Structure 1
C-alpha cells in the first residue's frame, strides 16, 4: 500500500474512532480503552466539525453532562490545548494544540520534499541515507533510503538516538548558540552510547566548532560501533533548521577520504533541499 493510501486510511479510521457518538455500541470499544482519555479525544475531534466548541453543544454531541465537558475543557485550557474566547465564551484550539499540528505538518512536508533528494544522494554515494529531526537531546529519524550494496547499513526510520552521538544530531546542534546548548545539556558529563561517544560538553563544544568550520558532521562509531556517518544540516531560506541529512556506511568503508567526499555531497544536497522551503 502506498504512503498516501496508508495516510488516507489512517485519517479515516481516526476520524471514525474519535468522532463516534456516545450511542455507539460498547462492543466496538477495545477492552483496554481508558474512558476519560477517550472522552477528551472525542472532544478535541469536534474541532473537525467547527472552529469553536461550546459547552452545551459538546454536551449534546457527546452525550455527557455539561459539568463533565466543562471540566475537560478547563483541564485542556490549563495545558493550552484550548483557549476560551472572552466574548463568545466558546473554546477554540490553543497554542499547544496548534503547535502539535504544525509540527506534524512540518514533518510530513519535509519527508515529501526530501524524498527525491535522499534518493539522489543514495545513488551518488552508494550508501544508506537518512533524514533526521532534532527533538531536544535526541534525534528522531523520519525517513531512510537504503543502499543497494550487499553489505550496508539499514533503515533508521523511527529510531531515536542521542544527538551528541550522531552525525545528524551534531550537525543540528552546531546551529545552536551557547545558551541553547546549555539548556539541552545542563551538565558537563554526557551519556555514552558506545566507547567512542563524546563524553563531556566541553569536548562536544570543540566538535561543534569544527563542524561549523568544515560544514558537515562526522560520526565514527559513536552511536553504533561498526557504523560511520556524515551529515549536513538543512536550513530554509530564513536560516531555520528543518532537519539534517546523514549518510551511513559500515566503518570498513567510512575512512577519512570517504567522509570528505560524502560530506561534500551531503552539504550540496542539504543546500538544495533547504532552498525548497520558503
Structure 2
C-alpha cells in the first residue's frame, strides 16, 4: 500500500451526504462533481485522489471514475511518477481560448478600422469553433454597395476564407477527425463539396499564405483571409476582407491580399 492509499479517510457516505445537503436543489449530481473537481485546480497545481476524495466528500472509486472520464477527454493528465493529476491540454486550451478571444477582439479593433479604410471594404474578425467560423467583430465599408457586418454569424469553415486559413493549420489526421466523411455540405455550388477538394484549397492556402473565397459561402460575396497567430505561431483568429463579388477581380484580390496579410502580420506581432 502506498502513502496515498494509506491516508486515513472518514467514511465516504457521511461526507457525500453532508456535501449534498449543502448544495441547492436542481443540480445534476455527476456534472456538479466534475465541475467541483476541475475547480480544485484554481488553488492547486496538482491534485491527488485522496485529496479530492477528502475535499469533495466522495468515495475513492467515484473519484477514480471522474478522473478516468476527464483523462479520456484530456481535461486532466496523470504524472507517471507522482501519480498526481494536473490540468490536461483540453482544459488549458479552453482557458487560453477564452482569454485570447477576449483580448484579440479589443486588440484588433483599430486594425480592422485601418484595413477597412485602406481597402474601402468590410473587414471581419473570426475564430474557429470545430467546423464553423464564428464572426466576433466587423467594421463595415462606407460604400453604398457593401458586405454587411457578420458579427455573431456562424458559417461553415470549409466554405469561407476565414475558415480555410484556420483549417490549413491542421494535420491530415486532425482534418480527417474534423471531417470524417468525404462528402461535405456545400452552401453554394462554388464551395468545396468533398474533403479531397478541400485539401486542394488548403494546399493553395499553405502555398500563398492566405485564403480566397469566391462566392462559396454566399453567392455574391468574395473574400481574402489571413491568419493571426499567437507567440507560439499558432493561428488563433482570422482577419478577412470582404467585397461584393462584382468588385473582386484579380487586381482587387492581389491588392487586398497584400493589405490583409500586412495587417494580420502586425496583429500577430502585437500578440507576442
Moved more, 59-68 or 112-121: 59-68
Residue-pair matches, total = 253
User: Within 1, Cα distance between the matches of 2:98 and 2:195?
Assistant: 31
User: Within 1, Cα distance between the matches of 2:219 and 2:198?
Assistant: 19
User: Within 2, Cα distance between the matches of 1:57 and 1:173?
Assistant: 41
- Among 32, 43, 63, which residue is 1:69 paired with? 63
Residue number in structure 1 paired with 2:85: 91
User: Within 2, Cα distance between the matches of 1:100 and 1:24?
Assistant: 29
- Cα offset, 1:257, TM superposition: 4.1
RMSD of aligned alpha carbons: 3.5
Cα distance, 1:215–1:109 mapped onto 2, change above 3 Å: same
Q: Deviations over 1:178-212 (max 9, x none)?
A: 77666655665443111221334555455445545
- Indicate if the aligned counterparts of 1:111 and 1:142 stay in contact, CA closer than 8 A: no
- Indicate if the aligned counterparts of 2:211 and 2:226 stay in contact, CA closer than 8 A: yes
Residue number in structure 2 paired with 1:51: 45
Residue number in structure 1 paired with 2:270: 276
SS in 1 for 2:185: coil
User: Within 2, Cα distance between the matches of 1:177 and 1:75?
Assistant: 26
Moved more, 200-209 or 120-129: 200-209
User: Within 2, Cα distance between the matches of 1:50 and 1:90?
Assistant: 11
User: How is 1:241-256 mapped onto 2 (pairs within 5 angstroms)?
Assistant: 241-256=235-250
User: Within 1, Cα distance between the matches of 2:35 and 2:232?
Assistant: 36
Relative to the length of structure 1, the TM-score reads 0.71
- 5+ residue gaps in structure 1? 1-20
- Indicate if the aligned counterparts of 2:140 and 2:149 stay in contact, CA closer than 8 A: no
- Cα offset, 1:214, TM superposition: 5.2
- Indicate if the aligned counterparts of 1:165 and 1:193 stay in contact, CA closer than 8 A: yes
User: Within 1, Cα distance between the matches of 2:58 and 2:232?
Assistant: 47
- Indicate if the aligned counterparts of 1:84 and 1:92 stay in contact, CA closer than 8 A: yes
- Indicate if the aligned counterparts of 2:133 and 2:157 stay in contact, CA closer than 8 A: no
